Chain A
Amino acid sequence: MFEDTRSHPLNIIVCIKRTPDTETRVRIADGGASIDPSGVKFIVSPYDEFAVENALRTKEAAGNGTVTVLTLGDAASQETLRSALAMGADAGILLEGEVTQDGLATAKAIAAELEGHTADLVLLGVKAADDDQQQVGPMVGTLLGRPCVTAVSGFSVADGVATCHREVEGGTEVVEVSLPAVLTITKGDFEPRYASLKGIMAAKRKPIEQKTAASAESRLRTVSLELPPERPEGRIVGEGADAAPELARLLREEAKVL
């Protein structure tokens, strides 16, 4: 028999979220506690795309393994999973349930599903582009009792240990963590790959398991949602270098910031 010289299979689950495109114009819905979804284009949260890209590269480097994408949301999140499958993920899981501002409720639904899987790595975007709370990843890690490294800009896996780079205030940290582990991913050296036509076709045949999410009550209530206050009308101080003295004066005497 041939000896299998490849490394052990590496199984990775990437948690992704369907979020409005950043370019979308936000309108507040009737009731004043949510946005009006009509006409809004939805995308895979950009941070989650970094997570998918890192998962695919890690699997490719290991030469053996699977990348499964998981999302919590409504039926429309199928589309979000297909986008990640088109990038190269192998399978999807749709947890049908409500996504609220309460990241802990989201984390509980995800953790309940992950209990039933043996994943070496769970990756999430460092934050969702809509809520921007930056919390679900470390909550999932804590709930599962698995170590979590946050805001990882790049990592490599060898001998059951992930070596992670984190950009923090004042410098870059290298953190070693033993698997299984949870990592939250931020922008790093790799741009997310575009789905090829072949990838998009293949994604249509990849399996998506659909199930009802374990219910977790939201305990962070949105009282209201409003458009931000308009910034006061700005002014053009002048044109070219001649305007520099006036600008400096205004910054010191009017805005009092210099």
Chain B
Amino acid sequence: MSNVLVVAEQRDGVVRGVSHELLTAARTVATDLGGEVHALAIGAAAPAGADGLGAFGAATVKVVADPAFAGYSGERFAAAVAEVARQGDYGAMFFAATSRGRDLAPRVAALLDVPLAGDVTGVGVADGTVEFTRPVYSGKAIATVRSTTTPALATLRPNVFPASESAAAGAVETVSVTVSDATTSTVTSFQAAGGDMDVAEASIVVSGGRGMKDPENWNLLIGLRDAIGADVAALGASRAVVDAGWRPHGEQVGQTGKTVAPKLYFAIGISGAVQHLAGMRSAGTIVAINKDADAPIFGVADYGIVGDLFDVVPALTEEIRKLRAGG
């Protein structure tokens, strides 16, 4: 019997929704291992939402609250996570495959001297061993891997494990750790990107490519995103338009950009180069709008419209606005 430790994803003192996805995935693994799910939150104080982690299956919510953790430091946070991990019998530990999680998890793996499976899209237990599936070769193959030692560490891709509630005790337990005073890297400033939702976190992505013809035309995509809802939808871009300076690199989807797995992905004026497909082929539903009926993007799309995007996008925006208004 061993437990599963979920390292909660937080930003600005608030637990992020992806933590609920991690807990949902951890529940099935913990059940198969005959153990329970623990969550870990680290900050200057208990983050907002830590007490709600029980609703998603955390039997215990371990909170490390110390002013030393007011700002993120990979070295310091990793030492704290590793210390908590050593205190329990953990068969597996899950982190979010976000900027933060992908910075933190490898350090923890090195400290605990165990392997890490990165950007995992499937978890399970076979023959009593935790097993992970993960896309490799730009999503052109799927590897199933097992760690030969415990805990089995993984970063889990956001939006892939739909969060569902299943109440557990969720008792908040304060844990103290040794704080390393080695400050070797310091975040000196943070510039928020206008408050728009990040393309890697959004459940719906509206992406544009070279077919948009001019950066000014992005007002069409912004209109579509807003009709869907800027609280759930984000803008994405192909490499070509990022390289042309039309859109910021933070929006780039695909190789050398971000890998996304939203439930709905609009590829608008994007031909579908293999480098782009690498970043979005695991989306739930893919919609392609392109005037070239032979564009490779139609090969992966669930729904396609062949036509001039300058006609199609405004019409679609209007239809979605009507749907939303009608409930």
A interface list, Cβ under 8 A from B: 20, 22-26, 28, 35, 46-47, 50, 101-105, 107, 127, 129-139, 141-143, 146-151, 153, 163, 166-178, 181, 186-188, 191, 218-228, 231-232, 234-245, 247-248, 250-252, 255, 257-258
CA distance in complex: A228, B323 (Å): 34
Chain A positions within 8 Å of B144 at CB level: 222-226
Task: Point out which of A20, A166, A240 has the most chain B C-beta atoms below 10 A from its C-beta.
Answer: A240
Q: Chain A contacts of B137 at CB under 8 A?
A: 20, 24, 26, 35, 130
Say yes or no: B106 contacts A236, CB within 8 Å: no
Q: Are A251 and B185 in contact (CB under 8 A)?
A: no
- Asked if B179 is an interface residue, CB under 8 A from chain A, the answer is no
Q: Are A240 and B106 in contact (CB under 8 A)?
A: no
The 17 sampled A-B contact pairs (Cβ below 8 Å) are: A132-B118, A133-B134, A148-B74, A150-B102, A171-B192, A172-B191, A173-B191, A174-B190, A175-B188, A177-B186, A220-B116, A222-B143, A223-B146, A232-B302, A239-B306, A242-B315, A257-B285
Interface centre among B103, B201, B312, by most chain A C-beta atoms within 10 angstroms, is: B103
B323 touches A252 (CB 8 A): yes
* Bound complex: CA A131 to CA B274 (Å): 16
B298 & A170 in contact (Cβ 8 Å cutoff): no
Contacting pair B303 A177 (CB below 8 A): no
In the bound complex, residues from chain B placing their C-beta under 8 Å from that of A143 are 110
Report whether A241 and B119 are in contact in the complex, using a CB–CB cutoff of 8 Å: no
Give, as a whole number of angstroms, the nearest-CB distance from A161 to chain B: 10
B274 touches A174 (CB 8 A): no
Task: Check A101 against B188 for contact (C-beta < 8 Å).
Answer: no
Main secondary structure, interface of B, reads mixed
| In contact, A23 and B274 (Cβ under 8 angstroms) | yes
Residues of B within 8 A of A167 (CB): 99, 249-250
- Chain B interface size, under 10 / 10 to 19 / 20 to 34 / 35 or more: 35 or more
Q: Does B123 contact A (CB under 8 A)?
A: no
Beta-carbon contact of A169 and B136 below 8 Å: no
- Contact of B55 with A by CB under 8 A: no
CB neighbours (8 Å) of B155 from chain A are 134
- The answer, yes or no, to whether B307 is at the interface (CB within 8 Å) is yes
Determine if B140 and A244 form an interchain contact, defined as CB atoms under 8 angstroms apart.
no
| Interface residue? B320 (CB, 8 A) | yes
Q: Which residues of A contact B175 (CB under 8 A)?
A: none
**B274: which A residues are within 8 A, CB to CB?**
22-23
Cα(A103)–Cα(B146), bound, Å? 13
B102, B188, B301: most-surrounded residue (chain A CB, <10 A): B102
Among B149, B243, B252, B288, point to the contact of A219 (Cβ < 8 A).
Answer: B149
CB neighbours of A238 from chain B (8 A): 305-306
Contact call A248/B298, Cβ cutoff below 8 A: no
Complex contacts, A220 vs chain B, CB 8 Å: 115-117, 145-148
**Do A132 and B135 touch across chains, with their CB atoms under 8 A apart?**
yes
B143, A101: Cβ atoms under 8 Å?
yes
- Expressed in whole angstroms, the Cα–Cα distance for A175 and B189 within the complex equals 7
Indicate if the CB atoms of B255 and A129 lie closer than 8 Å.
Answer: yes
User: Is B305 in contact with A221, judged by CB distance below 8 angstroms?
Assistant: no
Q: Output the least CB separation between B225 and chain A (Å).
A: 13
Contacts A103-B109, A138-B106, A243-B307 aside, 4 further interface pairs with beta carbons under 8 A come to A176-B186, A220-B116, A234-B300, A239-B306
Q: Is B200 an interface residue (CB 8 A)?
A: yes
Residues on A with C-beta less than 8 A from B110 are: 104, 107, 138-139, 142-143
Q: Which residues of B contact A237 (CB under 8 A)?
A: 303-305
A residues in contact with B281, CB < 8 Å: 228, 231
Chain B residue nearest to A169 in the complex (CB): B198
How far apart are the CA atoms of A178 and B188 in the complex, in Å?
13
CB-CB under 8 A from B189, the residues of chain A are 173-174
Which of chain B's residues have a CB closer than 8 A to the CB of A47?
Answer: 256
From known contacts A222-B143, A241-B315, infer whether A135 and B307 are also in contact, taking CB-CB under 8 Å: no
Determine if A142 and B106 form an interchain contact, defined as CB atoms under 8 angstroms apart. Answer: yes
**Interface: B75 (CB within 8 A):** yes
Complex formed: what's the CA distance from A203 to B14 in Å? Answer: 52
In the complex, the answer to whether A134 meets B147 with C-beta atoms within 8 Å is no
| Set B141, B185, B200, B319: member contacting A244, Cβ < 8 A | B319
Q: How far apart sit A174 and B109, CA to CA, in the bound complex (Å)?
A: 25
Contact among A46, A169, A219, A226 for B114, CB-based, below 8 A: A219
Residue B284 at the A interface, CB < 8 A? yes
Please encode chain B, from 60 to 104, with 1 for each CB lying within 8 Å of some chain A CB and 0 for all others.
000000000000001100100000000000000000011110110
- A175 and B185 within 8 A (CB): yes
A258 touches B106 (CB 8 A): no
Closest Cβ neighbor of B115 among chain A residues: A220
CA distance A238 to B305 in the complex (A): 5
Residues of A within 8 A of B11 (CB): 169-170
Q: How far is the CA of A149 from the CA of B73 in the complex (A)?
A: 9
Known: A138-B103, A220-B147. A130 touches B115 (CB 8 A): no
Whole-angstrom distance between the Cβ of A190 and the nearest chain B Cβ? 12
Docked Cα-Cα span, A1 to B320, in Å, equals: 76
Asked if B190 contacts A171 (CB within 8 A), the reply is yes
* B103/A22 in contact, CB under 8 A: no
Tell me, yes or no, whether B223 is within 8 Å of chain A by CB: no
